[in-house]
Amino acid sequence: MNKVEKVLIGVFGLGICVYLVDCIDRGMRYGFSGGFLDYFTYPLFSVYGLILAVSVIGLATLFIVHAIVRRRKKREARITGADKIWFAVSFLPITLDVLYGLYGAIAGIDFLWSKCYGFEGFILAAVFGGILIIPVLPLCIIWQIIYLTGRHKAKKAEKELSL
């Protein structure tokens, strides 16, 4: 890793630490009266939550780019087992969103002054669940594109070697 990447890791790590310090400070002020996890989930919708989201997305992007550059330097066109596992894991957020939509369709979801079931409940739950995974979804899509292009290159290189 070069100096710029190390500095960015420090800055993004500092952003995560700022979020955690705010959560702990808020909990200590109120004596963790609402339960311990309430003080870590409530600030997600504040400025500190935005700092956390930017820091996590920045760190993930740095690590993905570092892995791509390292692999490009080695000139590898091989798909590893870890790549396959991460490709499968990258479908997890959208799967969870669809499952939450199905839950909203069956059990119902409260919206404004009524409870919605069926297709309307599915759409509402999927949209509200999607709002929570929007920061993660682009990273998953980027990884899927990288995996598929790498797999294409690996199959092409394998075909050339077999000829």
Long-range contacts for 153-160 (Cβ within 8 Å, ≥24 apart)? 153/77, 154/77, 154/78, 154/79, 156/77, 157/77
* pLDDT, position 40: 62
Mean pLDDT for 21-31 is: 74
Q: Which helix (H) or strand (E) holds 36?
A: none
| Residue 97 and residue 36 in one domain | no
- Report the number of distinct structural domains present in the chain: 2
| Residue 14 and residue 64 in one domain | yes
| Residue 49 and residue 68 in one domain | yes
Pairwise CA distance, residues 54 & 10, whole Å: 13
pLDDT tens, 122-160? 888 888 877 766 677 777 888 788 888 878 877 887 777
State whether the Cα torsion 79-83-85-91 is positive or negative.
Answer: negative
**Cβ–Cβ under 8 Å, residues 23 and 39:** yes
Residues 6 or more apart from 1 whose CB is under 8 A from it? 9, 66
| Residue 65 and residue 90 in one domain | no
Pairwise CA distance, residues 109 & 131, whole Å: 15
| Residue 125 and residue 151 in one domain | yes
Asked whether the predicted pLDDT for residue 35 surpasses 60, the reply is: no
Note the pTM of the prediction, 2 decimals: 0.49
Of 56, 75, 94, which one is at a domain's C-terminal end? 75
Query: Which runs of consecutive H residues, i.e. helices, occur in the chain?
Result: 3-30, 38-41, 47-74, 81-89, 92-107, 118-133, 137-162
Length reported for the chain: 163
For residue 92, the enclosing domain spans 79-163
| Residue 7 and residue 32 in one domain | yes
Identify the residue with better confidence: 26 or 93. 93
pLDDT tens, 53-95? 888 888 888 888 787 777 767 665 567 777 788 788 888 888 8
Pairwise CA distance, residues 14 & 8, whole Å: 10
Look at the block and give the residue holding tokens 């992007």.
Answer: 61
